[in-house]
Chains A and B, each alone.
Chain A
Amino acid sequence: METIEAVLREVQLFEGLSHEQLETIAGCGQNVQFPEGELLFKDRDPAESFFVLRHGSVALETFVPTRGAVVIETLEAGEVVGWSWLFAPYRWHFDARALSLVRATSFDGACLRGKAESDPKLGYELMSRFAQVMIRRLQWTRLRLLDVYGDGHRS
């Protein structure tokens, strides 16, 4: 079975980190699994972790009255799910539902925040990498906002 550090090495997000840094991060991680349909986390719950998906796909959802659960975006293997652990008040902003059997590595937010505080260099690396993830998600979200296919006839 792959060590968590080996998993991290394959994730683009953590490319370029040193062996020690990867070991440190791995120390806060554990392998988890979700059956299809189960929530990885729930909107408004305390956000104390993030996930690196290794298998399967996850839907970020929000519940809209009269519309039900609306999928904002789906995420695939290799992608990172969750950044609310980085910023107070550390609460999730969406639901995350397993669309299939999901295997992931989950990382303890409090543990990582602690490590980052004592190792600012690691903290900077984590911040800038997560910022990249967020920026890319924001780009895609903005493109969706433009509603490029929109013709005004249908909602």
Chain B
Amino acid sequence: MATAADAQTVAGPMVPQPFRVTKRRRELADTWTLELEPTGGARVLPAPGQFTMLYVFGVGEVPISVSGDVDGPLVHTVRAVGAVSRAICESEPGTVLGVRGPFGNTWPVETALGSDVVIVAGGIGLAPLRPALYAVLRQRGEFGNVALLYGSRTPADLLYRAELGQLRGRFDLEVDVTVDAAEGGWHGKVGVVPKLIDGAHFDADSAIALVCGPEIMMHFAARALLDRGVPPDRIYVSMERNMQCGLGHCGHCQLGPTMICRDGPVYRYDQLERLMAVHEL
């Protein structure tokens, strides 16, 4: 797993490295995917689940999960929700952004070798999970049943729709998609993502589940997985808190005894359950 520690011994780890936007693709009304290459220095090699701190000159910096394949350019799918993310989304190819990282821990793809893999994603939560899916598919023979269960608010909010269609064409992958609310013309499932867990094909005794989406959706999904008999130490979720330095120095991302920038963002559900029972922790 790459860390930025090695790259940053001369310049401090708070200094962003310049990366140029090489591709920019609009995914949804408010979501874009950017591909980035370093302008001078070495490539970063983030592992699935990690994030970088993405900087727009003079505007600010936000943590964004990586959503590309390990063997490729740095890929980020970003939703424009604030000043910085909006500026990132508006960056045309050629623009130079700043990158720090990658930081954080990873989806446990190695742990899942030999097991069934259930990937449960809601909304933009599919973006941090996509590298994990790529990693699994790259060694497809090493896993049992693999299911991708995905949903969003409406059909217009389905991320990577064309790619989902392609994935659906594989014979070794179950892809099930739903939306919370349908508009006219949608002939697919209508219902919440956790509901897809009931009907998915996997062996609860031997599955590893990777879950990412809004926090409440992750907890309902975890509950549905637990109801099916998946043990809590085989369910992984991706947590989010206010993040500023990414280094474990600023204190903001604390979640109980952990810091999301170094002990997360991927958490095992059994370790999280107790913390989540306390409100406003």
Contacts from A to B (Cβ < 8 Å): 57, 59, 68-74, 76, 78, 99, 139-140, 143-144, 146-151, 153-154
B251 within 8 A of A: no
A-B contact pairs, 30 of them (CB 8 A): A57-B189, A69-B184, A70-B181, A70-B182, A71-B181, A71-B182, A72-B190, A73-B190, A74-B188, A74-B189, A74-B190, A74-B191, A76-B199, A99-B187, A139-B220, A140-B191, A140-B192, A143-B194, A143-B220, A144-B180, A148-B123, A148-B213, A149-B122, A149-B123, A149-B152, A149-B153, A149-B180, A151-B30, A151-B81, A154-B29
Proximity string of chain B (174-199) to chain A, C-beta cutoff 8 Å, 1 when within and 0 when not: 00001011101011111110110001
The 8 closest A-B pairs by CB, nearest first: A148-B214, A149-B153, A71-B182, A149-B123, A74-B190, A71-B190, A74-B189, A140-B192
Proximity string of chain B (204-226) to chain A, C-beta cutoff 8 Å, 1 when within and 0 when not: 00000000011011001000000
Contacts from B to A (Cβ < 8 Å): 29-30, 81, 122-123, 152-153, 157, 178, 180-182, 184, 186-192, 194-195, 199, 213-214, 216-217, 220
Instruction: Tell me, rounded to whole Å, the shortest Cβ–Cβ distance linking B39 to chain A.
Output: 33
With A68-B184, A71-B182, A139-B220 as contacts: A149 and B214 at CB distance below 8 Å? yes
* Chain B residue, CB-CB nearest to A73: B191
Instruction: Tell me, rounded to whole Å, the shortest Cβ–Cβ distance linking B178 to chain A.
Output: 8
**Number of residue pairs spanning A and B whose beta carbons lie under 8 angstroms apart:** 56
What residues of chain A lie closer than 8 Å to B122, measured between beta carbons? 148-149
A140: which of B184, B187, B195 is its contact (CB, 8 Å)?
Answer: B195
Expressed in whole angstroms, the Cα–Cα distance for A76 and B196 within the complex equals: 10
Instruction: Tell me, rounded to whole Å, the shortest Cβ–Cβ distance linking A134 to chain B.
Output: 14
A143: which of B157, B187, B192 is its contact (CB, 8 Å)?
Answer: B192
Expressed in whole angstroms, the Cα–Cα distance for A69 and B216 within the complex equals: 29
What residues of chain B lie closer than 8 Å to A57, measured between beta carbons? 189
What residues of chain A lie closer than 8 Å to B181, measured between beta carbons? 70-71, 144
Expressed in whole angstroms, the Cα–Cα distance for A147 and B179 within the complex equals: 12
Q: Is the CB of B217 within 8 A of A143?
A: yes
Interface centre among A74, A78, A144 (most CB of B within 10 A): A74
Instruction: Tell me, rounded to whole Å, the shortest Cβ–Cβ distance linking B5 to chain A.
Output: 35
Q: Is the CB of B199 within 8 A of A150?
A: no
* Chain A residue, CB-CB nearest to B29: A154
Instruction: Tell me, rounded to whole Å, the shortest Cβ–Cβ distance linking A137 to chain B.
Output: 9
Interface centre among A68, A69, A71, A149 (most CB of B within 10 A): A149
Q: Is the CB of A148 within 8 A of B187?
A: no
Add 20 more A-B contacts to A71-B182, A151-B30, A154-B29 (CB < 8 A). A57-B189, A69-B184, A71-B186, A71-B190, A74-B188, A76-B189, A139-B220, A140-B194, A143-B192, A143-B216, A143-B220, A144-B180, A144-B181, A146-B216, A147-B153, A148-B122, A148-B213, A148-B216, A149-B123, A149-B180
